[in-house]
Structure formats: structure tokens, C-alpha cells
A and B are shown apart, each in its own frame.
Chain A
Amino acid sequence: AQSVTQLGSHVSVSEGALVLLRCNYSSSVPPYLFWYVQYPNQGLQLLLKYTTGATLVKGINGFEAEFKKSETSFHLTKPSAHMSDAAEYFCAVQTNTGNQFYFGTGTSLTVIP
């Protein structure tokens, strides 16, 4: 089975600072990769995804992520944090057979004014 590791269950950044949320996966075959954001009392919303092609993918709200096969990583970044970015972020992996998804345990992002 796949596993997804998100380093740092809580990350705090100052408003305007770089956001870096880490995600590593275990797979011998590159899977499909996703980042989701969850605001309080809401479901998960897709931020971005990697399937094939360009390894740097851009998503909504200024976020982007880079797929690095050699490091089995898919870290999420944003150059300048905004107060509205405060939320829970989940990395997810989809197997390339069976439509199964595996989620990390999440990273709670706090933005300090």
C-alpha cells in the first residue's frame, strides 16, 4: 500500500513570507499526486495536481508544487503567504490502478500578521 508523509503537522509563517509544506510518498511507480486545502467546517478543495508532463505544477491561490521523482517528493510552495491561506493542507496520492487515494495526516498552516 502507498504511504504519504507530511513533515510538520503545524507550520507557522509570517504574512508575506514563503510557505513550504512538505510531502513525501512511497511508490516505486510514480503515482498521481494532489494537494488539497481544507478550511474550517468545509470539505477538501483541490489546490493542484500532477499527472504527467511538466514537473512544476501551478494551482489556485498562487500555490505551486514540484514533483521530484528522485526524492519521491511533492512539496507545496507559495512565495508570499496571505492571511487567507490559514487552513489545513493535505497531500494525496492516487494509484495508477484502481482509483485508490491515500492521504497524508495534514499540515495546519498558521499565518502570523
Chain B
Amino acid sequence: EAGVAQSPRYKIIEKRQSVAFWCNPISGHATLYWYQQILGQGPKLLIQFQNNGVVDDSQLPKDRFSAERLKGVDSTLKIQPAKLEDSAVYLCASAATGGGSPLHFGNGTRLTVT
């Protein structure tokens, strides 16, 4: 099966600019996650979707971050305006419904904010 696709792989922007990341999950996976991974740390959940509804966005900085999952498939994560501390790898993951179903990760987008 095709894996989780993410683009772009790398992005360099200046602070206060905006940026968007795209994710296409594994076909049939109802749950989609966006994680932020700062260098040397574990993934931190930003937002979790179940189909096209939000399950958990408690750690999403909503003043600058937004995400959507139209039609319950692809998803985009946007940052506007970016700050220096947003420099990180943004990982998208998907999972089938059901306990014990593992997360499947994309290769991530490495964002550098200068």
C-alpha cells in the first residue's frame, strides 16, 4: 500500500511569513494527525482529525496555526505568521480506526524559520 505522502520536504521562510504543508494519508485511514517535532524531542500532537472532524486540537496554537481536512482525505496545515520557534519537522500520520492500529508516518516537512 502507498504510504503517507507529505510535501514539501523542506521549507525555509522568514519570520512573519506564511507557510502551508500538505498531507495525503493512507487510503481508508479515517484518523489523521499532525505532529510537531523539535530537534531532539519526541513528536508533539498538534491536531487530530477523525474523518473531516477535529478530535483534539488542544495543543494547536490557534492564533497562528490552522489545519483542515476537506472531504476526510487530504489535509493541510498552515502557519501564519511564522515565528522562529516554529522551526521544526512537521509530521503527518494516519491510522485505521480501532484500538491497536499503529500510526503510519510520512517523511515530514522540515521547516526553518529565519
Q: CB within 8 Å of B: which residues of A?
A: 32, 34, 36, 41-46, 49, 51-52, 90, 92, 94, 96, 98-101, 103-106
Contacts and interface: CB of A to CB of B under 8 A. Distances in A.
Interface of B: 4, 31, 33, 40-43, 45, 48, 50, 55-56, 91, 93, 95, 97, 99-108, 110
10 contacts: A34-B103, A43-B4, A44-B105, A46-B104, A92-B103, A98-B55, A99-B50, A99-B97, A105-B41, A105-B42
A13 B100 CA distance: 31
Contacts of A45: 105
Contact of A49 (B48, B56, B93, B102): B102
A103 B50 contact: no
B91 A96 contact: no
B103 A101 contact: yes
Residue among B4, B99, B108 having the largest count of chain A Cβ atoms under 10 Å = B99
Contacts of B105: 36, 43-45
A43 B48 CA distance: 17
A94 B99 contact: yes
Contacts of A105: 41-42
B99 A90 contact: no
A44 B99 contact: no
Contact of B107 (A32, A42, A92, A104): A42
Given A90-B42, A99-B97, A100-B56, A43 B102 contact: no
B103 A44 contact: yes
Nearest to A46: B102
Given A43-B105, A100-B45, 12 more contacts: A32-B99, A43-B106, A43-B107, A44-B43, A46-B104, A51-B99, A99-B48, A99-B55, A99-B97, A100-B48, A104-B42, A106-B42
Contact of B43 (A34, A41, A90, A94): A90
B106 A99 contact: no
Given A90-B43, A99-B50, A101-B33, A43 B100 contact: no
